[in-house]
Chains A and B, each alone.
Chain A
Amino acid sequence: MGELRITLEEVEHVARLARLELRPEDKERMRRELDGILAYIDKLRALDVDGVEPTSHAVPLTNIMRDDEPRPSLPRDEMLANAPDPHGDFFRVPKIIED
């Protein structure tokens, strides 16, 4: 196969960064699809952007300040109602620290 813009190792690395488990049979397909899209995106290289300011938002954003007044939050039981594994007042997760 050869000259794709992205290697299989990079696909695996990016999947790890993105917390996405890819099946072995999907990795090569993902690699080819990303390569196709990146090939199209490469047309951006044709433009001279030296000295051009980046635009992160089309409308200038300013800080919106408000008084630091406490207000009620959403009720705890309603927030926990959507949790896949609530435990009392907590969200339960698999172990984080190694044995």
Chain B
Amino acid sequence: MLTELSLSELGERFRRREVTPTEAALAYLDRIDAVDGEVRAFLMVTREQALAQAAASDARFHAGQPRGPLDGVPIALKDLFCTRGIRTTSGSKILERFIPPYDATVVARLGEAGAVVLGKLNMDEFAMGSSTEHSGFFTTRNPWDVDRVPGGSSGGASAAVAAGMAAASLGTDTGGSIRQPAAFCGTVGFKPTYGRVSRYGVIAFASSLDQVGPFGRTVEDVALMLQVIAGADPMDSTAVATPVPDYRAELGRGVDGLRIGIPSEYFIDGMSPEVESAVRAAIATLERLGARTEPVSLPHTEYGLAAYYVIAPAEASSNLARYDGVKYGLRAPGGKDLIEMYAKTRAAGFGDEVKRRIMLGTYALSAGYYDAYYGRALKVRTLVRRDFQEAFERVNLIAAPTTPGVAFKLGEKADPLSMYLNDVLTIPVNLAGLPGISVPAGFTGGGLPIGLQLIGRAFDEATVLRAAHAYERATDWHTRRPKLGPTPGPNLGKIRP
């Protein structure tokens, strides 16, 4: 089935002229029709635009001038990447009718590379959440068990790739929002170094933490996606000019001689025993492949989450001040004056979790509490960052679980704090700005995916990808597919006029 091929395999078939991009786009659109009623990953399927992009790609292949490995490949986007002329909601009612007048830089770069965009993917509102249950629209289901969450906030982006509804996708990761859903859905999800990828046109959550990254079904696929989106951007001064290596060329170098640190603080009390044993087995596999592992200590890990829940809401409360019912987005009726209009608009447009974070952030920044909360959290952030700096003086990589547990049931984490605790092993990486990947590393007895997290030095994405690729080559977890929907019939992949 075309929709089960990796992005790179599909691209090879295009180049061998065995399949056309239009055939691939139609196969994916059929797959979406067949299974997205169950999974609910897409907020919008951009069928007409996808077929137009696919036809343009057909013509390039026909003329013998494809643009590169992504040309013609069907992908999808978390709905916080601005897409010119196509509704972009950030999962929020306040942006339900927002049509961006420009493309995010990463969207433009994927377009220039010839990628075909199938649609926009569900997410927790403004990327605040770990399950998509905080979407302003609906909850996405985990393709491995539709009674469970796909993770979040990029839950739609991971579920779509896991369910064969996109060859790859783009998400964002502020505290784990790529790696955690990758672990929960059995996909590869990569958060690059802070500053590696432009955020121009990416709807902001917490600007010192947000980073864009890809999901794929293989490490090679996320390397190909990162290649296209990485690099400096005149429209985002935080996207730095550090040279971008050829990631795919580095993939085959293996892990022989790499030093990998194992942080004891990441094997926490209350962790799922199945997750722990799968991750320990993955570490043993890396050793068998030639990596040298050693214990490292990241002693401030347990404080990372608390620091994050001051810093991220503080930044969010400032970033989300722009939703005022004036220039774009919802305006609620009945405001007698400007201030009342703001307050009514924001009350009507934001969901409960977003309101909680705005309140928390505003409180932490308010007079009398700034030093006790925000100032202290920034200092703790320094301590978390130093932990990593010291560890990376001795090791090339750190290996750990992505999450303490596997995908939880819908509604299971009703208490806000219990939801936040999900991100305890991903958040320190954002605080330190480092690259981190989650790769499939096994399944529970109940058939739910488990993720291995590999963390690298700043701007050393190449080593992270190389080790992840070596691990993937040695295992077959990434080849398993969830069983969904009606049995694939002869309709799939058919060519429509």
Contact = CB atoms under 8 A, between A and B. Distances in A.
Tell me whether chain B's interface is mostly helix, strand or loop, or mixed.
helix
A14 B366 contact: yes
A19 B336 contact: no
Contact of B363 (A23, A34, A56): A34
Contacts of A64: 237
Interface string B420-453: 1000000000011110000000000000000000
Nearest to B320: A18
Interface residues of A, number: 55
Given A33-B356, A47-B303, A52 B383 contact: yes
B185 to A, nearest CB: 27
Interface string B180-224: 000000000000011100000000000010000000000000000
B98 A40 contact: no
Contacts of B303: 43-44, 47
A10 B369 CA distance: 12
Interface residues of B, number: 72
A41 B362 contact: no
Contact of B378 (A13, A54, A98): A54
A42 B358 CA distance: 19
A1 interface: no
Contacts of B240: 59
Contacts of A61: 237-238
B134 interface: no
B360 A37 contact: yes
A91 B358 contact: no
Interface string A1-33: 000001000110111111111110000001001
A70 interface: no
Given A19-B346, A53-B379, A57-B433, A84 B337 contact: no
A30 B359 contact: yes
B80 to A, nearest CB: 16
Interface string B335-347: 1111111111011
A19 B318 CA distance: 12
Nearest to A46: B303
B347 A14 contact: no
B377 interface: yes
Contacts of A98: 337
Interface of B: 97-99, 101-102, 193-195, 208, 234, 237-238, 240, 300, 302-303, 305-307, 309-310, 317, 321, 324-331, 335-344, 346-347, 350, 355-356, 358-360, 362-363, 366, 373, 375-383, 385, 415-417, 420, 431-434, 458
19 contacts: A20-B347, A30-B355, A34-B359, A40-B420, A41-B306, A43-B302, A44-B376, A49-B379, A55-B382, A58-B194, A59-B238, A59-B240, A59-B433, A61-B238, A74-B102, A79-B327, A81-B101, A96-B338, A98-B337
